[in-house]
């Protein structure tokens, strides 16, 4: 009996610490993903990114054809005119005509530049959306790894509680302990069951959200390859030689340039002349008379004058455009401060997690040594099975606490990489 128990504990430890595979490759699994493969799937299939692509295409079209206001306007028509007064029996007149016209204003140059800046800003927004999706996918990936480890711990605790209950029930039946002791262990079992159910629910919900981010069917079974142990012994994280390239700051700077262009456009619309030219050709025929051809060439210059009035709509448009420039300049200054504060906060979180990991590693080592000593005592007969099981539970719990902090660490690193605008994984190289 003792040998079978020893074998059971040895296998349990091996499974948790990686001596044997925790999950065998199942033929039912349709996806077996590492974190980079998950990111690639999300970028390819995510619905919100597809919407961003549609918006970006619209910006590109606007930029490509922003000059279309100077495209010639061509029209053609025909008419027939006949007097209808009783005293007038004259013949009707038939006519066909065609007109080509073109209009030009210097504000066109500002409009073209503005459209290009909008397109550039659209590309930055799309890049930001991709990074946000990647950040969320990576965090969700590692959260699921933690959920799986936490669920194992809760199941192990439930198993221990059930074993203790069965042992106490046997002792009670033989008259060794009171009924109160049995009820106490039974309560422990019933208390642990909701914890297992809660852990299973959390894992299921997180997987559902993860599949939605990846754009895959909820019926698809997935298995993630990876481990939070990879982050337990990383080196120092520093941004000393890293070039900060914040996407949010670049978007604001591009918006500032677009706002300045908008000021120029408003001024040109208010003060610059508009040049218009048109050419019309017409052929008309009345009764048996010969057809008459006529051609008209017209050129005009229009200079707006209402802009000299400070209460005019043109003057107000200029003032509003200037206000936008000032507002965005303030946003840029605020974003620079926020960027600095967020960077320092992420670095502090990383340092805190690394310090906590060192402490938790010491606790995990202590739990492991305690288990080894209890194991030897169990072999000598000085410790019972429940003591050995409790020592094993402590090992499991210390490992899960360690992985919880590892998840906090990797989340802080991902946040820092996102804040400073470097490719994910840069700070871990």
- Secondary structure class of 282 (helix, strand, coil): strand
Structure confidence at residue 17 (pLDDT): 43
Beta bridge mates, 96: 78, 283
Sheet with 73-81, edge to edge strand ranges: 73-81, 93-104, 274-286, 292-302
Q: At what angle do helices 107-173 and 35-45 cross, to 10 degrees?
A: 130
Q: What angle do CA 101, 104, 108 make, to 5 degrees?
A: 135
Q: Say which DSSP state 428 is in.
A: G
For 65-115, give the DSSP string. Answer: TTTGGGSPEEEEEEEEE----TT--PPPEEEEEEEEEEEE-THHHHHHHHH
List b or e across 46-72, with b for residues whose CB sees 16 or more CB atoms inside 10 angstroms: beebeebeeebeebeebbeebeeeeee
Structure confidence at residue 88 (pLDDT): 57
**CA-CA distance, 351 to 236, in Å (whole number)?**
9
Distances (CA, A) of 4 to 8, 11, 289, 314, 370: 6, 11, 121, 90, 21
Phi-psi region of 152 (alpha: psi -120 to 50; beta: other; left: phi over 0): alpha
**CA-CA distance, 277 to 117, in Å (whole number)?**
30
Beta pairing class for 274-286 and 73-81 = unpaired
Structure confidence at residue 163 (pLDDT): 86
**Tokens linked to 77:** 């028509």
Q: What is the CA radius of gyration of the chain?
A: 38
**Do the Cβ atoms of 421 and 247 come closer than 8 Å?**
yes
Q: What is the pTM of this model?
A: 0.72
Determine whether 122 is exposed, middle or buried from the number of CB atoms within 10 Å of its CB (0-12, 13-18, 19+).
Answer: buried
Structure confidence at residue 22 (pLDDT): 34
pLDDT tens digits for range 362-405 = 999 999 999 899 889 878 888 877 787 788 888 888 988 999 99
**CA-CA distance, 258 to 363, in Å (whole number)?**
56
**In the block, residue with structure tokens 């690639």:** 40
Digits of tens for pLDDT over the chain (429 positions)? Answer: 444 444 444 434 444 444 433 333 333 334 578 899 999 888 888 777 777 778 878 877 776 665 555 556 778 888 877 777 655 556 777 888 888 777 766 666 777 777 787 888 888 888 888 899 999 999 999 999 999 989 998 898 888 888 888 888 888 888 877 888 788 888 888 988 999 999 999 999 999 999 988 888 888 888 898 888 888 888 888 888 888 888 888 889 888 988 888 888 887 777 777 778 788 888 887 777 777 778 888 887 777 777 677 777 878 888 888 999 999 999 999 999 999 999 999 999 999 999 999 999 999 999 999 989 988 987 888 887 778 778 888 888 898 899 999 999 999 999 999 999 899 988 887
For the range 332-338, what are the long-range contacts, defined as Cβ-Cβ under 8 Å and sequence gap of 24 or more?
332/249, 332/252, 332/253, 332/256, 335/246, 335/248, 335/249, 335/252, 336/249
**Do the Cβ atoms of 45 and 33 come closer than 8 Å?**
no
pLDDT tens digits for range 51-60 = 777 887 887 7
Structure confidence at residue 30 (pLDDT): 43
Structure confidence at residue 3 (pLDDT): 42
Structure confidence at residue 315 (pLDDT): 81
Q: Say which DSSP state 427 is in.
A: G
């Amino acid at each position: 009996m003792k040998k079978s128990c020893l074998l059971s504990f040895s296998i349990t430890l091996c499974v948790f610490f990686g001596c044997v595979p925790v999950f065998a490759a199942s033929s039912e699994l349709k996806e077996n993903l590492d974190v980079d493969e998950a990111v690639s799937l999300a970028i390819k299939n995510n619905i919100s990114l597809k919407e961003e692509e549609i918006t970006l295409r619209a910006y590109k079209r606007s930029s490509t054809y922003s000059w279309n206001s100077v495209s010639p306007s061509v029209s053609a028509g025909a008419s027939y005119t006949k007097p209808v007064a009783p005293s007038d029996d004259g013949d009707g007149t038939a006519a066909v005509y065609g007109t080509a016209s073109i209009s030009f204003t210097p504000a066109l140059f500002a409009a073209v530049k503005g459209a290009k800046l909008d397109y550039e800003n659209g590309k930055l927004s799309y890049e930001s959306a991709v990074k946000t999706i990647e950040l969320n996918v990576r965090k969700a990936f590692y959260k699921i790894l933690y959920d799986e480890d936490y669920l194992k711990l809760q199941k192990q605790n439930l198993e221990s509680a059930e074993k203790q209950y069965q042992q106490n029930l046997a002792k009670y039946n033989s008259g060794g302990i009171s009924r109160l002791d049995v009820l106490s262990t039974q309560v422990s079992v019933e208390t642990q069951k909701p914890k297992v159910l809660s852990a299973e629910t959390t894992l299921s919900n997180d997987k559902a959200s993860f599949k939605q981010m990846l754009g895959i069917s909820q019926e698809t079974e997935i298995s993630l390859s990876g481990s939070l142990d990879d982050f337990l012994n990383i080196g120092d994280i520093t941004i000393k030689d890293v070039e900060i390239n914040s996407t949010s700051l670049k978007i604001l700077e591009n918006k500032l340039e677009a706002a300045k262009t908008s000021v120029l456009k408003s001024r040109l619309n208010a003060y610059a002349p508009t040049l218009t030219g048109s050419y019309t050709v017409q052929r008309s025929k009345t009764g048996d008379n010969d057809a008459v051809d006529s051609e008209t060439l017209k050129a005009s210059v229009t200079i707006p004058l209402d802009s000299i009035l400070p209460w005019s709509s043109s003057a107000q448009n200029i003032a509003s455009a200037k206000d936008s420039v000032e507002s965005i300049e303030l946003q840029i200054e605020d974003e620079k401060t926020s960027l600095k504060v967020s960077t320092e906060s992420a670095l502090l979180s990383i340092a805190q997690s690394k310090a906590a990991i060192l402490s938790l590693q010491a606790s995990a080592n202590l739990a492991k040594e305690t288990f080894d000593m209890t194991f030897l005592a169990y072999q000598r007969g000085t410790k019972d099975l429940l003591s050995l099981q409790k020592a094993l539970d402590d090992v499991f719990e210390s490992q899960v606490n360690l992985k919880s902090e590892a998840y906090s660490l990797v989340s802080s690193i991902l946040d820092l990489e996102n804040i400073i605008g470097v490719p994910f994984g840069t700070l871990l190289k």
